[in-house]
């Protein structure tokens, strides 16, 4: 079996499954009022992981959408779920992991409190990831509402020895646009660290999936797909087949 992971995504806003365009909260499309129905559909496929983002939490700075996440967990029984958005303390990370989340993704906290990432990774080996969301190569935080002056590659290097399980790299300009993921920038980041790197944002076709898989030997370990699955631009069963090659 290929080590490359094709990971469907569910983004939560107000308890609904949505997608933003380029991370903008004023450009939101609702795809499913009950995200657990989408999770049930995903669960009918041989998934190795599901990616969930609490968009309310990312913006508010604290975890939200607990009810929706709980419903998704019940539908995805046996499938590891990674969750990002709003976890800014060790206590919140522990709460989500105790609830059944397999991997907590820290983004804003990774920039603001890198020591939190290190402590969490030490306490929960293999269960902490870092989200690096970039706008023009610079790390964006607080639900992508603020862009820092920190370079994405520099950010990745800060956690080389922290024991994190993975880095998720998103090019915000591509996210939700279905114009193709920025595999080149992600591969550059992946080449700078030994940590497995997952590319996210922009998938719009099967060829985009193939493009990411071609970088499997160059540090990219997985691909997150969201809107393209909802619109039908990418068929999940076919995408999983491509990723397994």
Characterize the bridge pairing of strands 138-141 and 146-151.
antiparallel
d(CA 176, CA 200): 10
- Going by C-alpha positions, the residue among 173, 182, 221 that lies closest to residue 200 is 182
Phi, psi of 123 (to 5 degrees): -75, -35
Out of 11, 54, 171, 208, which one is annotated catalytic? 11
State the CB neighbour count (10 A cutoff) for residue 236.
Answer: 17
DSSP annotation string for 131-155: EEEEETTEEEETTTTEEEEEEHHHH
Instruction: Specify the DSSP class assigned to residue 15.
Output: T
d(CA 94, CA 89): 9
d(CA 109, CA 87): 7
Out of 54, 56, 102, 133, which one is annotated catalytic? 133
Instruction: Specify the DSSP class assigned to residue 217.
Output: G
Catalytic-residue membership of 136: no
- Cα-based distances in Å from 22 to 84, 94, 155: 17, 30, 21
Catalytic-residue membership of 11: yes
67 by Cβ neighbours in 10 Å (0-12 / 13-18 / 19+) ranks as exposed
Residues annotated catalytic, as ranges: 11, 133
């Amino acid at each position: 079996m290929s080590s490359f992971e094709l990971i469907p995504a569910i983004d939560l806003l107000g308890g609904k499954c949505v997608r933003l365009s380029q991370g903008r909260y004023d450009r939101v499309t609702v795809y499913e009022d009950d995200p657990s129905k989408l999770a049930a559909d995903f669960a009918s496929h041989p998934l190795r992981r599901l990616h969930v983002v609490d968009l309310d939490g990312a913006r508010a700075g604290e975890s939200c959408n607990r009810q929706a996440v709980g419903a998704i967990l019940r539908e995805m029984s046996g499938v590891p779920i990674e969750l990002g958005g709003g976890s800014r303390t060790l206590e919140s990370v522990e709460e989500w992991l105790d609830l059944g989340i397999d991997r907590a993704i820290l983004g804003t906290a990774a920039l603001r409190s890198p020591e939190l990432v290190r402590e969490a990774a030490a306490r929960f080996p293999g269960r902490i990831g870092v989200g690096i969301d970039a706008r023009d190569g610079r790390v964006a935080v607080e639900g992508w509402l603020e862009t820092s002056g920190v370079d994405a590659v520099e950010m990745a290097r800060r956690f080389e020895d922290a024991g994190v399980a993975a880095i998720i790299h998103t090019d915000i300009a591509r996210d939700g646009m279905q114009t193709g993921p920025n595999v080149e920038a992600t591969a550059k980041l992946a080449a700078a660290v030994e940590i497995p790197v997952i590319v996210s944002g922009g998938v719009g076709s099967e060829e985009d999936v193939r493009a990411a898989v071609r970088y499997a030997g160059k540090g990219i370990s997985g691909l997150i797909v969201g809107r393209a699955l909802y619109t039908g631009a990418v068929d999940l069963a076919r995408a999983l087949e491509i990723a397994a090659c």
